Amino acid sequence: MSSTMTENSNHNKPNKRKRICLITIGVILFLNFLLFLIALILALTVFKSKQPKTEILSASVDGVAPRVSFPAVRIELNITVDLMINVQNRNYASFKHGAGKTLLLYQGTQVGDADLYPGNVPARGNATLPCRLTLQVDRVANDLSKLISDVLGGEIMLQTKTRIPGRITFLGFIKKHAVALSACQLTIGFPKMKVKRQDCKIKAKL
């Protein structure tokens, strides 16, 4: 009788160990699946890369009112456009950007440019970058007659294009490159030398 009980006890021990091993493996697999599911949800929501946005907070004009002399056509024009560019980081991680660039264009021709200093925009934060652009009249040689006509008509239209490259860093090691882009059209009135209208389009590359 006791011999039979001993045999049954010895027989049950391997089965018990097997069940414990299966339960342990099952728990580990479940925890790994749960961690994967949480990471996936975070990647698609909290840690999903969102486009940094750039916009012009303010634009002002400084310079000398233009003078156009005849019969020998000569134009004297000194225009400096001061921009305050806002960079908005909508991510739950910092956006570290390198040196950016803003171009000033007239009729599609680049007539000025300015560098933007590198910096860091905190998670869900903003940063303001000053930008000073001077219109270089000597670059408008091909459109000089159009420029004179616009000035005499009371306003000229200028375009600005801004590019700010950088990267978004999640958890200190997950890095995603991003480039914030904006294009604006400014209408400057004469002789008051004021910005009458501005229209901006914003986009980003991830």
The pLDDT tens digits of the residues spanning 120-157 come to: 998 889 999 999 888 887 777 677 778 778 878 888 88
pLDDT reported for residue 107: 87
Fold of 52-205: Immunoglobulin-like (2.60.40)
Question: How far apart are alpha carbons 157 and 140 in whole angstroms?
Answer: 13
pLDDT digits (tens, 9 = 90+) for 35-50: 877 766 766 565 677 7
Report in angstroms the alpha-carbon separations of 14 from 20, 23, 25, 84: 10, 14, 16, 75
Instruction: Give DSSP secondary structure letters for 62-112.
Output: EEEEEEEETTTTEEEEEEEEEEEEEEE--SSSEEEE--EEEEEEETTEEEE
pLDDT reported for residue 15: 73
pLDDT reported for residue 102: 92
Q: What are phi and psi of 9, to 5 degrees?
A: -65, -45
CB 188 within 8 A of CB 158: yes
